[in-house]
Amino acid sequence: LHLTAMTDLNALLAAGTRENVVSELTGLADKTVSSQSGLTGMALKSAVAAGKKANPNAVSDGVDQALPQLVAELQPYFSRYESGNAANFGAFLSSRSAEVVEKILAAADGATDQMPAPARTAYSSLRGKAGDIITPALPEFGQIIERHL
């Protein structure tokens, strides 16, 4: 019987790696926000702008703050992915988008205390629509995670 070691996502929190992961996830967040349209897009863009006005690094600080919880939430998924046959982690996450989005939001919820007040208010008002915003970004999100392991 040959057992393969499961990848520990805590490796994403290591010095040197964490900064790169935060940078790429911040880029994905910025790209995702800028691609939104309609009333939700306007509200999201103004929320991010308010957060950046209070703290120019608001998005990356938020990603960095949420990363340990995100790693904890994603570990069971990555373990299942490694023992399955999905093409990549992004595809694996996309195939479970509803539950994965809830885990991502749980991690974000834990980081809201650190957000500037305007961003926190905007986050809470947009949280219900977050699934529609996050789901299309899951393939790239998963690929970023996998690339840094």
Higher pLDDT, 77 or 110: 77
Q: What does the pLDDT average to over 47-66?
A: 89
**127 DSSP 8-state letter:** G
Residue 112: per-residue pLDDT: 84
pLDDT at residue 11 is higher than 90: yes
Backbone angles phi, psi at 137, to 5 degrees: -90, -5
The answer to whether residue 48 scores a pLDDT higher than 90 is: no
pLDDT tens-digit map of 94-106:
999 999 999 999 9
pLDDT range class, residue 15, cuts 50, 70, 90: very high
Q: What would the two tokens of residue 44 be?
A: 């999201």
pLDDT on residue 117: 77
Please tell me the predicted confidence (pLDDT) of residue 2: 43
Dihedral of alpha carbons 131, 137, 142, 144, sign: negative
Residue type, 148: H
What number is the average pLDDT over the span 27-35?
96
Structural contact between residues 109 and 123, judged by C-beta atoms closer than 8 angstroms = no
CA distance 36 to 41: 4
Task: Tell me the residue type at 40.
Answer: T
